[in-house]
Structure 1
């Protein structure tokens, strides 16, 4: 059922509350709540908005068939654009990394290398 997939999507994307999901989409909390409870179905425009904003396959959202997300081309720019939309913590981490000095970036990568072992 679409209402279950909407809730699953919100949790998969780690968006948090229905209010935050609604705010991210620019729609009311009561609409999101009604959609997730199965009392109402989202309009075609809302479905398209969700799919575009979160790279969701419309067929999955509507019918539950196939994969949840569209395949992402592993292009650095596309990945960064996707992160900016979907993952606020990663976006914050990238911005913090960007502001580090060259020396601090080197320390960071040394830490990552040790951590990954």
Structure 2
């Protein structure tokens, strides 16, 4: 796993410091991990996978495809939105509460809005 994380960091063109910042860690932690002196927690592994859309099985074992499928991770994406983006969470909750008729009106509006030139 250590080599795959180093590979991922380098593919992204990130220094240890920039990689650490993206996943909420210190550069020192990433340095120690890459040198074999620290281990990643399950939460940190999950955060790395979510941040870089990486398949967790691939990151842990090297098996399977590297990239994560957004459809398979829909629940994780929603959970992350709920934690990190209060406005998006509020919008999703409001949409969920709409009646079927209001949802249809919403999508008609959205389609017209998005097709405006």
Q: TM-score, normalised by structure 1?
A: 0.56
Give the corresponding residue for 1:71.
69
Unpaired stretches in structure 1, ≥5 consecutive residues: 74-117
- 2:7 corresponds to: 8
Provide the rounded CA distance (Å) in 2 between the counterparts of 1:46 and 1:29: 14
> In the TM superposition, what whole-angstrom CA distance separates every residue of 1:21-66 from its partner, at most 9, and x where no partner exists?
0111111111111222222220001001001111111001111111
Which structure has the larger Rg?
2
Gaps of 5+ in 2: 72-117
The normalised TM-score by structure 2 is 0.56
Moved >3 Å (runs of 4+): none
CA apart distance, 1:72: 5.2
Q: CA RMSD in A?
A: 1.4
Mapped partners of 2:67, 2:47: distance in 1:
14
